Structure 1
Amino acid sequence: MWQSNSSCYWGRFPCTHFIPRSVFKLILVNSTSFFSKPNAKTELVKLPLFPPTDTNLSMRFGSLSCPNSNVGASRCHREKTCGRRNQGLRKLKVFMYDLPPEFHFGLLGWKGNKNQTWPSVDSHSRIPSYPGGLNLQHSVEYWLTLDLLASNNPKVGTAVRVQNSSQADIVFVPFFSSLSYNRHSKLHGKEKVSVNKMLQTKLVRFLMARDEWKRFGGKDHLIVAHHPNSMLYARKKLGSAMFVLADFGRYPVEIANLGKDIIAPYKHVVRTIPIGESAQFDQRPILMHFQGAIYRKDGGAIRQELYYLLKDEKDVHFTFGTYRGNGIRKAAQGMASSKFCLNIAGDTPSSNRLFDAIASRCVPVIISDEIELPFEDVLDYSEFCVFVRASDAVRKGYPSQPSDAVAMVWEAVLRKTSSVQFKRHRKNRFARSEALLKRV
C-alpha cells in the first residue's frame, strides 16, 4: 500500500554559505566540518514519512533503509539495527477492540451493513479516505487501524491482530481522536455537548468496564492521540495507557512521558520529490526557508525573534504563510528550492514542517529545545538534521512495507523497554554545534 520513495538528499555541503554569520556563527560549515567530508560518497537515506496527499492505497508510508556506507560507529550500529529489525524481529501481537463505527470509520462518513463494524480491506475502493489538507498530518490513527485490519492477509508486516486478548502484547483502542477533534469539537445547533467530548466520555466508560483494562489498569493499552488537543477530556482518566503522540507539549509529565509513550511522525503534506526531480544541493537558489505563522506564544516566541534577525538576510526566505488556498503548494515549491529548512518551535514543540522538509530533500534545521522525535532509539537525527539551541539561534553574529512508518510505530511499541540507544542519541543532538561553538 502506501510506499513513497521519500528520501533525504545528502549532497556535498558548500565551503562558504550555511546559515547567515550574523545569526548562527556557531555552525559555520567548511570542508573540515563534522557534517560532510569533501570526498565523502553521497548517500540517500530513506526516512519514515507518512503517505503523500492523494489517497491511493497502492502506496504507503515511506520506508527507512539502511545506507550501504559504514562511515562512523553510529551509522554502523544503525545498519546492524536495521538488519536485525528486518530479519529477526517477532511480530507484535495486538488485540483490537471492536468499537462501534462512530469511534473510527463512521467519523469518515462510512456506513456498513447492519452489525458491520469494519469496512472491507479486500478492495481499496471500499475503504473510506482520510480527509485532506492539514487533517492528514495526524492520520497515524487511520493507518495503524487499517494495518491491523489487513494484518491477516499475506504480507510483510510488524503487527498481527489476535482475537484473544490474553494472547496479546498490547491492546489497541481504535478511536480516531485527532479526526474527532478536528471535525467534531465545536457545538452545532442545539447541542450542549460536542460530539468529540461525547465520544471521549463513552470511550472512558467502555474501557473502565472492560476486563482487559482492569487486568493491568490499562497499562497494556495503546491509544492514538496525535493531535495536541485530542483526548483532552479523557487523557487524565486514561493516562495509564501508552499514548501515540506528536510531542509532550500539552501534557503533564504524569500523564505522558518518554518512559511509556510513543512519538510518531507527522504525515508530510507537501509532495514528495522523486530523486530525478530534486535539484542538487548546490543548485538550490534559496539558502534557508521558513514559511508559517510568525507570531506565536510560549516557546514559539523564538519565531518572532528570528524573523527580525533573518528577514533582510541575502538568500533567506522567511515569511508569513498559511496552508489555506495555495499555501501548501507555495511551501512545497519553496522547500524544494532551498538548501536548509527551518523547523522552529511554535505553539507546540513539533510540527509536520520537519517531515515536509525531508520530503523536499531540504536539510532540516531544528530550533526547538523541547522537541521529541519519532523512533530516536534507532535513528540518530544528528546525522541528517542540524540542531541549534534556541538561545544560540538568536545570538547575533496500510499492508505494511518493510520498515515503513506504520511498522516503525509497532516496533517502537515492541521495544519500548530499550532506552540505551535512545538516551545516547538524545545526548548527541547538540554535540556538533557545541564543538563548533568552542572554536568561535
Structure 2
Amino acid sequence: MMKWRSLSLPIAIFLAFSLLCLFFFSSYPLSSLPLSSPYPIPTLHHPPLKVYVADLPRSFNYGLLDQFWSLSTPDSRIANPTSDPNPKPINPDPSYPPYPDNPLMQQYSAEYWLLGDLETPPDLRARDSVAVRVYDLEESDVVFVPFFATLSAELQLGWGKKGAFLKKDESSNLDYKRQKEVVERIKRSEAWKRSGGRDHVFVLTDPVAMWHAKADIAPAMLLVVDFGGWYKLDSQSMKNGTVPERIQHTQVSLIKDVIVPYTHLLPTLPISENTVTRHILLYFKGAKHRHRGGLVREKLWDILQNEPDVIMEEGFPNSTGRSQSIKGMRSSQFCLHPAGDTPTSCRLFDAVASLCIPVIVSDNIPLPFEGIIDYSQFSLFISESQALQKNYLVTYLRSISEKRKERLRANMARVQSHFEFDNGFPGGVGPVPRDGAVNHIWEMVYQKVPNVRQAILREKRRPEGVVVPLRCHCT
C-alpha cells in the first residue's frame, strides 16, 4: 500500500502533463505553430581546428592588394566605370589593405576574410572561434596556403594583356608566374612532403583561380564556390546545339573539398525593415548569354521575358547596375537563379540579403554549409525540364500562398548572418561573428579532417609500385 501511494503522485503529474499536451496540439494545428529556427547558431562542441599557415611572401597576398590600389587605369571588363575607377581607401592600415569593392573581385573575397581571421592576434580572437592558428606544424590539423589566387587571376584578367591569361608565358601572364612559384614553394616544404598535400587548404573561389596548376594541387582541400570551373566539355555533345555534357574531373569532390559562399554585393535588408510592397513576381538581372550549363538561362529568358510582373533584364557590374539590382530584388517576391558559366553565382546570396525568395533552376548544384543549413526552408528548387515548360514556372509561383511566402522569408532572415564575411574590422583582422561565414567555413573544414587523415595513413601503407587511381565523386 505504501509503495502504491509513493508512485501515485508522479503518475498523476505525468497524466496531467500528457492531457495538457494533447489539448494543446489538438487545438492548434502544426502549421499554425511558431517555427523554431532550423539553423542553430553553432556551438563549439569539439576542440578548435588547428591551422598552420604556410610560409609565403607577402607579395602573394596583401602585396597583391598593394598592387591593386596603385593602379591608375580601370578594369577593362567593366563598361561605363565611375569617374574614379579605383577610389583609394582613406587612411588604410598599410599591413592589411582593404579588399577591392570592384564587384568582379569583391564577390570572391573569402580568401581575404579567412586569412584576416588567422592574422588576428590571440588576445583579440573570439572565444568561440572555430579555428585557431598554430605555429608548430606537428600540432596542426590543416595547412592554410595564404595565396590570394582569385585576386591574382582577376588582376591578370582586368589589367593584363588580352588573351594572355590562358598562356603559360611568365612575361605576359603574371598570374601564371605566381601560380607556378606558389606551387614550387609549397611542394618544396616539409608540410607538403609530410602529407602529399592532402591537409593543405587552397581558397579558389573564382572558377579560374589557379587555372594552370589544378593538377598540381588536386590532392589538397579546395575551397570553391562550386565545381563548375573544374569541368571539361565533350565536344561531341555539341552537335545539334545540345547542352554540352559535363565530364567531372577526378580532382574535386564533396568528400575532400568545401563549398563556400560568394560574398554578396548588395546590402543586407533586415526583416524588420522589409516594408516595401513586393509588386514584382519574379526578378532576374544579369547576362543573358552564358556557356556550358548556362545555356538554360537563354531559354528561360525567351520564355519569361514577356510575362507580366516578371523582369528579365541585362545587368552590368557597375554602380548603376547595383542600384537597379537593390531596387529590383527588394521589390520582388521571387528572384530567379539559373546557372551561368558555372552552377552558382553571387546572385543567390544577393537574393538572401534582399529577402527575395530564391528560385533555383538546377538539376545538380552544390551549396555552401549544407548539413548546417536546409535551403528548402527558404528557397524553391525547380528542375531544368520543368522550368523550360511554357507557363509552368509563373503558374507555380503564382499559386504559392502569402502565408508560405512569409514563412520562407522569415526562415531566410534567420540565415542572412551565415553568409556574412565582413567582421567590421579594418583589413578583416579581428574577432569573427560566431554565426558568420568564416566560422562556418572552418567548421566545414574541420569535418573533412578525419577523411584527410585517413587518406594520409592509407598512402603511407601503400606497397611500393602499386598505383591507386583517383576516384572522386562530386555527389
The structure carrying a bigger helix percent of its residues is 2
Q: Which letter maps to 1:276? A: S
Does structure 1 residue 400 correspond to structure 2 residue 422?
no
1:264/1:181 Cα in 2 relative to 1: closer, same or farther (>3 Å)? same
Does structure 1 residue 271 correspond to structure 2 residue 241?
no
Q: 2:130 maps to what in 1?
A: 158
How many Å separate the matches in 1 of 2:56 and 2:375? 37
Q: Which letter maps to 2:194? A: R
Q: 2:171 maps to what in 1?
A: 192
Q: Which letter maps to 1:395? A: Q
Q: Which letter maps to 1:95? A: Y
Check the 8 A contact 2:264/2:346 in 1, yes or no. Answer: yes
Q: Give 1:402 deviation, angstroms.
A: 0.6
1:110/1:159 Cα in 2 relative to 1: closer, same or farther (>3 Å)? farther
Q: 1:130 maps to what in 2?
A: 99
1:125/1:203 Cα in 2 relative to 1: closer, same or farther (>3 Å)? closer
Check the 8 A contact 2:108/2:205 in 1, yes or no. Answer: yes
Q: Which letter maps to 2:100? A: P
Does structure 1 residue 109 correspond to structure 2 residue 66?
yes
Does structure 1 residue 170 correspond to structure 2 residue 130?
no
How many Å separate the matches in 1 of 2:113 and 2:282? 33
The superposition leaves residues 114-166 of structure 1 with CA deviations (integer Å, 9 ceiling, x where unpaired) of: xxxxxxxxx97442000012211100000000000105133321111100111
Q: 1:143 maps to what in 2?
A: 113
Does structure 1 residue 260 correspond to structure 2 residue 256?
yes
Check the 8 A contact 2:338/2:361 in 1, yes or no. Answer: yes
Higher relative contact order (CA 8 A, sep 6+): 1
In the alignment of these two chains, the number of paired residues is: 337
Q: Give 1:207 deviation, angstroms.
A: 1.2
Larger Rg: 2
Check the 8 A contact 2:226/2:366 in 1, yes or no. Answer: yes
Q: Which letter maps to 1:207? A: I
Does structure 1 residue 100 correspond to structure 2 residue 100?
no
How many Å separate the matches in 1 of 2:249 and 2:122? 37
How many Å separate the matches in 2 of 1:196 and 1:373? 28
Check the 8 A contact 1:340/1:362 in 2, yes or no. Answer: yes
| TM-score (norm: length of structure 1) | 0.72
How many Å separate the matches in 2 of 1:366 and 1:349? 10
Q: Which letter maps to 1:234? A: A
Q: Which letter maps to 2:148? A: F
How many Å separate the matches in 2 of 1:196 and 1:248? 21
Gaps of 5+ in 1: 1-35, 44-68, 112-122, 420-425, 428-440
Does structure 1 residue 415 correspond to structure 2 residue 415?
no
Q: Which letter maps to 2:284? A: F
Does structure 1 residue 323 correspond to structure 2 residue 294?
no
1:285/1:182 Cα in 2 relative to 1: closer, same or farther (>3 Å)? same
The more displaced of 248-257 and 163-172 is 248-257
Q: Give 1:195 deviation, angstroms.
A: 1.4
Check the 8 A contact 2:60/2:148 in 1, yes or no. Answer: yes
Gaps of 5+ in 2: 1-28, 69-90, 231-247, 392-427, 452-473
Check the 8 A contact 1:310/1:316 in 2, yes or no. Answer: yes
Q: 1:353 maps to what in 2?
A: 347
How many Å separate the matches in 2 of 1:336 and 1:37? 30
Q: 2:420 maps to what in 1?
A: none
Q: Give 1:368 deviation, angstroms.
A: 2.0
How many Å separate the matches in 2 of 1:371 and 1:418? 25
Does structure 1 residue 285 correspond to structure 2 residue 242?
no
Question: What is the aligned-residue RMSD (CA, Å)?
Answer: 2.6
Q: 1:32 maps to what in 2?
A: none
Check the 8 A contact 2:141/2:449 in 1, yes or no. Answer: no
Q: Which letter maps to 1:267? A: T
The match for 1:248 among 203, 209, 227 is 227
How many Å separate the matches in 2 of 1:307 and 1:37? 39
How many Å separate the matches in 2 of 1:87 and 1:238? 30
Q: Give 1:98 deviation, angstroms.
A: 2.9
